Structure 1
C-alpha cells in the first residue's frame, strides 16, 4: 500500500489564514498557536521593555520586536516563525514584512501548548539558521535556559540554566543583565 503524502505548506498558506488565526510554519508544516496567557504577556512585556531600554541607552545597536513579528529563517518558503521576542542587530535583515534571516537573539516564553516546539523543534531550527543566542523562559517550571550558538564548533556551544529569581546576562550585549527576580509578573 502506498504511503499517503502529507501536504507541504508555504508562507502563502500562512498569509491565507483568517486574521484571527495565528500559526507558524516549520519545514512545510503548519503549527497553530493558542492565545498567550496573561503571565506570558507580562513576561514578554517586561523582557521587551528592558531589552529595548538597554539598546536605546547604548545608541541603538539592534531592534527589538515582540510577537507577532514575522521571521523568515532562511530563503525557503516553508519556514515562518513568530518568536515571542526577536533582537536583530543587522538592520539590513529587516523588511516591511519582518526579518529575513536569523535574528541575533530569540526569546521564547513557554506555554503548555508550545513546550515541545520551544524545547526541541525551534531549538534545532534556530541553531541551524544562525541565531546567536536563544532563551527559553518557562514560567510554569520556574526555569530559563540560555543557549549560546556563536561558538566556532558545536563542542564550544553552551547552555546555562537559571530560575525566575536569577539575574541573567545577555551574551550578545556586553552589559545587559536581566533581573528576573525584579520583574512585575503575576
Structure 2
C-alpha cells in the first residue's frame, strides 16, 4: 500500500488508509490527539469544552481522593491505554485509546507509556461531535477487551449511563441523573453523587 502523510490521514475522522498499529502511532509527530480503534485512526475532536473539563475534574478528583492509600490509580486524558488482542508487542496492538478517566487496579499493567490491558473502570464524557465514537466504537472494544465497567456521562443532559461486564457482555443500567448516587461494582466502595457532579454547571 502506498504510504500516506499521517497529517492528512487524521483530518478525516472515522477513516483510515489500511490498518495501523501502536508502533505506527509512536512514529507519528502530530500536533493533535488521535486514537486507534481496531487499526483505524480516529481524530480527537477540538479541545473539550469548559463544562466537559469541569465534570472531568470533579469526577477524577472524587476518584483520586477515594483511592488514596489503595492499590489502584486514576488517570485522565491524555493517557494512552493499549488494548492488545493477543500479543503485547507494539506492532501487534491495533487499539490505543485515551479515555477521559480510567482506573487501573492491577498496577502491573502500567508502564512508562501508559497502560497495557483493560482498565477496571473507564469513564467517557460526551462532547458535541464525538458521540458516535464513544457510544459505538469504544463500546465494542471496551467490552471485547474486558473493561469491567464503562460509564458514559452526558454533561448537557446531566445524566450517567453505566455498563457492567457480565459473562463477557455489557449489561446496561437505568439512566441516572441528579439525585442519584451511583455505586461502582469494579471499584468497591466508590459511590458517585451526581448532585455533586452536576451542581452549578451552566451552559
**TM-score, with structure 2 as normaliser:** 0.80
The verdict on how the C-alpha distance between 1:153 and 1:96 changes in structure 2, with shifts beyond 3 A counting, is closer
Consecutive unaligned residues in structure 2, runs of 5 or more: 1-15
The verdict on how the C-alpha distance between 1:18 and 1:182 changes in structure 2, with shifts beyond 3 A counting, is same
Deviations 1:3-51 (A, max 9, x none): xx94212223323444521010011111010211111111111010001
Q: Which residue in 2 is equivalent to 1:115? A: 131
Which of 41, 48, 52 does residue 40 from structure 1 map onto?
Answer: 52
Contact kept? 2:144, 2:168, Cα under 8 Å: no
Deviations 1:64-108 (A, max 9, x none): 000000000113321100000010000000000000100000000
Contact kept? 1:142, 1:164, Cα under 8 Å: yes
- RMSD, matched Cα: 1.9
- Is it true that 1:160 corresponds to 2:170 in the alignment? no
Q: Which residue in 2 is equivalent to 1:61? A: 71
Q: In structure 1, what is the Cα distance between the partners aligned to 2:178 and 2:24?
A: 37
Q: In structure 2, what is the Cα distance between the partners aligned to 1:22 and 1:99?
A: 17
Aligned to 1:102, the other structure's residue is in SS state coil
Q: In structure 1, what is the Cα distance between the partners aligned to 2:179 and 2:131?
A: 21
Which of 53, 62, 81 does residue 71 from structure 1 map onto?
Answer: 81
Deviations 1:123-179 (A, max 9, x none): 111011010000011112332111110x2364x834332124522111123321111
Matches within 5 A, 1:96-175: 96-149=112-165, 151-152=166-167, 154=169, 157-175=171-189
Q: In structure 1, what is the Cα distance between the partners aligned to 2:178 and 2:25?
A: 34
Q: Which residue in 2 is equivalent to 1:28? A: 39
The verdict on how the C-alpha distance between 1:69 and 1:181 changes in structure 2, with shifts beyond 3 A counting, is same
CA shift at 1:113, angstroms?
1.6
Which of 105, 110, 118 does residue 89 from structure 1 map onto?
Answer: 105
Q: Which residue in 1 is equivalent to 2:11? A: none
Contact kept? 1:147, 1:160, Cα under 8 Å: no
**TM-score, with structure 1 as normaliser:** 0.87
